[in-house]
């Protein structure tokens, strides 16, 4: 009986923990992969550094993936985490690679962004904090979401 009680307590504890876990970026966010600006600069191209570490945006239709139709996976340029599958990529007509769903819920962090008076949500890699792009709510079915990504934030791995 005592054993069952302990199991129940442990279960309750983990259940509560799972509930308080959110996917929102906080200012004290600690990422599994952290590097100095100098280290990122060494690893990334100047444009990729500007976009992923300074929250920049590449020019529409200039990236290498907006018109990529090959099957494969789009991984984070900073840490290699798998972010999007080509199966969820769609033609958004924006000039940026667009997806309606990430590979899983935990690979991205969302943060509200009202810069320029726009109602949009910033999307960040959950492992290294790389800025990837934004998510909008005018996407196609089944999610209705449009993950508008920068090509330079991604690294495509062909299947």
Choose which of 44, 107, 125, 149 interacts with Zn ion (CB under 5 A).
125
**Whether the Cβ atoms of residue 132 and residue 52 lie closer than 8 Å to each other:** yes
> Is 148 known to be catalytic?
yes
The piece of 15-23, 54-62, 130-138, 144-152 that touches Zn ion (CB under 5 A) is 130-138
C-alpha distances out from residue 70 to 20, 59, 64, 103, Å: 38, 22, 12, 17
Q: Which is nearer to Zn ion, 128 or 148 (CB)?
A: 128
Residue 126: Cβ-neighbour burial (10 angstroms; 0-12, 13-18, 19+): buried
Contact residue for Zn ion among 25, 88, 102, 127 (CB under 5 A): 127
Q: Which uninterrupted H or E stretch holds 29? A: none
Q: Is 108 in the site for Zn ion (CB under 5 A)?
A: no
Q: Which of 25, 51, 108, 128 binds Zn ion (CB under 5 A)?
A: 128
Options 58-66, 68-76, 131-139, 142-150: segment touching Zn ion (CB under 5 A): 68-76
- Neighbour-count burial of 73, counting CB atoms closer than 10 A to its CB (0-12 exposed, 13-18 middle, 19+ buried): middle
Report the candidate in 100, 111, 149 with the shortest Cα–Cα distance to residue 26: 111
Q: Which is nearer to Zn ion, 127 or 134 (CB)?
A: 127
* Contact flags string 75-94 toward Zn ion, x per CB under 5 A: -x-xx-x-------------
Catalytic residue annotation = 148
Residues of the shown chain interacting with Zn ion in the complex, contacts defined by CB under 5 A: 76, 78-79, 81, 125, 127-128, 130
């Amino acid at each position: 009986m005592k054993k069952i009680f302990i199991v129940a307590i442990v279960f309750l504890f983990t259940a509560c923990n799972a509930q308080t876990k959110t996917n929102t970026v906080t200012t004290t966010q600690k990422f599994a992969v952290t590097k100095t600006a100098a280290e990122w600069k060494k690893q990334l191209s100047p444009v990729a550094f500007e976009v992923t570490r300074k929250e920049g945006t590449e020019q529409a239709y200039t990236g290498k993936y907006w018109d990529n139709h090959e099957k494969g996976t789009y991984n984070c340029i900073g840490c290699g985490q798998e972010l999007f599958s080509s199966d969820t990529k769609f033609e958004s007509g924006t000039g940026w690679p667009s997806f309606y769903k990430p590979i899983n819920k935990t690979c991205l962090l969302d943060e509200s962004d009202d810069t320029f008076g726009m109602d949009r949500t910033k999307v960040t890699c959950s492992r290294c904090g790389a800025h990837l792009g934004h998510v909008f709510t005018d996407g196609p079915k089944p999610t209705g979401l449009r993950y508008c990504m920068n090509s330079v934030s991604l690294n495509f791995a062909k299947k």
